[in-house]
Amino acid sequence: MSIWDRLAEHQRAYAERPILELFADAGRANAFTVAAGEMRLDYSKTSIDADARDLLVALAEGAGLADARAAMFAGAKINETEGRAVLHVAQRAGEDAVIEVDGADVMPELRAERARAFAFAEDLRAGRITGQGGAITDVVNIGIGGSDLGPAMVTLALAPWHDGPRVHYVSNVDGAHMADVLKGLDPERTLVIVASKTFTTIETMTNARTARDWMAVKVRDPGAQFAAVSTARDKTAEFGIAPERVFGFADWVGGRYSVWGPIGLGVMIAIGAEAFAQFLDGARAMDTHFIDAPLAQNMPVMLALVGIWHNQICGHATRAVLPYDQRLARLPAYLQQLEMESNGKRVGMDGRDLERQSGPVVWGEPGTNGQHAFYQLIHQGTRVVPCEFLLAARGHEPDLAHHHRLLAANCLAQSEALLRGRTLEEARALMAAKGLSGPELDRQARHRVFPGNRPSTTLIYPQLTPFTLGQIVALYEHRVFVEGVILGINSFDQWGVELGKELATALGPVLEGADASAKDGSTRALVEYIRARA
C-alpha cells in the first residue's frame, strides 16, 4: 500500500473524531507547533495526529524532498520545462555565498546589481536624483503579476518604515488605474519605474507609454524621470531610459519570486537600503531553517504537509489566508499568485496527467473585516474551509495598544470557535435563557448551531518588521516548493497564462473592426455589443 493510500485510510478511519478530542493530550499544543526563531506555527487545531504526521513526513521523504531542496539551492536546472535554475534564494544569500549556474558563480554580478539598485534608491531618497521640478516626491511603479504583487504587498506591509518618496503601484491596463494614481501627482517631481523583464508585456508597456505621455506635457525630457527593471536594454534605451537607470535580473528568478532583487526597487525607495537588507536577512534566516531543520520541525515543510493533508487527503478545495494585520491586506492576493500560478497545474514533470488534485484555491482578507463578510460561510456553511491565521503579538502603535488587544482577541476567538463550535444543546440553553420555549426555541436554536471541528493554523510572531516579513514570504515560497515536489509538478513555469495573452492580442484588431467571423458565437455577440457602444 502506498503512503498516499495509507494517509487516505488513516483519514477515513478517524474522520468522525473531533479535533477537540485530540487536546485530551495536554502536550498537544506544543507537540504540534513548529518554531523558526521567534516565529511559531501552531497546527494543533487540525485533525493531524502523530500517526498522520509520521505518514506525511514519510510522504515528503519518499518524494525526494531533501535532494530536490539541495538541487534548488545548488543552482541545478530544476525548472525542467524551461531549462532554468530556480535561484530566488540567491537574491538573499549571504555575502560569502557561492552559487554556480553552468559552472559560473552568479553571486558577484547579483551583488553588484543590488548595490546599484541600493545606490539609486538612496540617491533618490536623499534628493541627489531630482526631477525637472526638484526633489522626487512620488514614485510610480508600473508592472503586473510578480512585478507588482510582491513589491506592492511588501511596501504596504512595511508602512512604519516609510521615510522616502511616496511609492504607488499601477498594474491594471484598465485606464482607470493609471488615471486614479496619476491624479494629483506633480509630473515634474515624479519618477516612474517600468518593471518588465522583456519590456514587451502589453499591459505594462501600454501603461508606461501613457505615463510618459502624461509626463511629457510638463517635462522636457520625460525619459530622464524614468527607470526600468528589465533585461532588454535595447528596448529600454529606445524608450528613452538611460542605461545607468536600468536594473536587470537573471532568467533563473521567476517573476512571482523576484521581490528580493531589483523588482523590489520601489520598496527600497520607500524604506531605504538598511531596512530592505533586514527584509533579506529574514528571508535568509528562513532559508537556513528550511535547509537545516528536521522535516517534522521544519516550518515550511510542515505548513506544506498541512496543506497536502487538507487538500489532497481530506478533499478541502480552498484555503483561506486570514492575516490579523491590516498592513498585510495584500498578502492573500500575493499568495494567490505565488501558490496558484506555481501549483495550479494538471500534468506532472513527466507530462502525464496528475493522479490527484493539484493546488487549492487560495483566497482571504484581513481580520477583522472578513468576520463581517465571509466568516459566516466558514463557520456554518456546508463546505469546510481550512483557515490560516497570521497574528503579531504587538503592533506598531503603542498609543493604540487596546486596538491590538481587541484584534488579537478576535483572531484567537475565531480559531477557537472553528475548533469548538456550538452544539444544539448549548444553543437550546441559550434560547431558553432568552425566554423561548417549545417549537420556536428549537427552530431558533438550530440557526445558532456551529458544527465546529473546522481546521486552522496560526502563524504568530513578535511584530511585523522587515525581518519578520522576510521570514513570512520565504516561508510561503518554500511551502509552495515542498507541495510541488510532493505532487511531482514544476512549480516554476506558468504556461497557463499564455493562451489568454495570445487570444487577447488577436482580439485587439477585432474590437477595432476586423473580421470576427472566426470567433465563437458568444465572443462575436460581445464584440458587437462593445463596437456599438465604444
First to last CA, the chain: 62
Catalytic residue, candidates 372, 402, 434, 447: 372
Rounded CA-CA distance 16/203 in Å is 50
- Residues pairing with 226 in the sheet: 192
d(CA 257, CA 281): 16
What is the side-by-side strand order in the sheet with 387-392? 33-36, 39-42, 456-461, 387-392, 318-324, 361-363
Residues found in the chain: 534
Buried residues in 248-272 as b, exposed as e (16+ CB within 10 A): bbbebbbbbbbbbbbbbbbbbbbbb
| Contact indicator for 137, 166 with CB cutoff of 8 Å | yes
Candidates 341, 365, 388, 477; catalytic one: 341
Backbone angles phi, psi at 464, to 5 degrees: -80, 100
Pick the closest to residue 267 from 293, 298, 229 (CA basis).
Answer: 229
Active site residue 365: no
C-beta separation of 318 from 385 below 8 A:
yes
Exposure string (b/e) for 334-343, b if CB count within 10 Å is 16 or more?
bbbbbbbbbb
And the C-alpha cell for 252? 533563473
Any catalytic annotation for residue 88? no
* H-helix or E-strand spanning residue 41: strand 39-42
Compute the distance between CA of residue 89 and CA of residue 285 in angstroms, rounded to an integer. Answer: 11
CA gap 415, 48 in Å, rounded: 16
For residue 246, the surrounding DSSP H or E stretch is strand 246-247
The residue annotated as part of the active site, out of 244, 274, 501, 528, is 501
CA distance 416 to 196: 44
Which grid cell sits at 214? 502624461
Q: Grid coordinates standing for 20?
A: 477537540
Q: Which three cell numbers stand for residue 509?
A: 484588431
> 87-97 burial, b for 16+ CB within 10 Å, e for fewer?
bbbbbbbeeeb
Catalytic residue check, 341: yes
468 preceded by a cis bond (ω within 30 of 0): no
> With contact defined as beta carbons under 8 Å apart, do 107 and 242 qualify?
no
User: Torsions phi, psi of 447, nearest 5?
Assistant: -70, -15
CA distance 152 to 139: 12
Rounded Cα distance, 194 and 379, in Å: 43
Active site members: 341, 372, 501
